[in-house]
């Protein structure tokens, strides 16, 4: 999929979850939310694993997409 939010970033779902976690932490300010936010780096590990599978499945087409579309926020790498 290369349309919709995937045309701007490779992992929009993970980015949205990070934003929601950060917002909840600011809103609720509880230790539970801090604990949840501390586990968000797991998204990075999952994203790497997904990208390895996508590279195996789609090869050069995936590599061209990866070169053109950032993993996270456009402009931030």
1-14 pLDDT per residue, tens? 777 878 788 888 88
pLDDT digits 0-9 by tens, 8-53: 888 888 888 878 877 887 888 777 777 777 777 888 888 889 899 9
Asked whether 5 and 13 are in contact (CB, 8 A), the reply is no
Q: What share of the chain is helix, strand, coil (3-state, %, to 5)?
A: 70, 0, 30
pTM of the model: 0.68
């Amino acid at each position: 999929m290369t349309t919709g939010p995937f045309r701007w970033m490779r992992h929009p779902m993970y980015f949205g979850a990070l934003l929601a976690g950060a917002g909840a932490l600011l809103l609720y300010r509880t230790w539970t939310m801090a604990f949840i936010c501390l586990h968000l780096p797991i998204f990075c590990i999952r994203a790497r694993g997904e990208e390895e599978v996508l590279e195996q499945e789609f090869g050069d087409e995936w590599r061209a997409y990866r070169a053109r579309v950032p993993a996270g926020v456009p402009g931030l790498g």
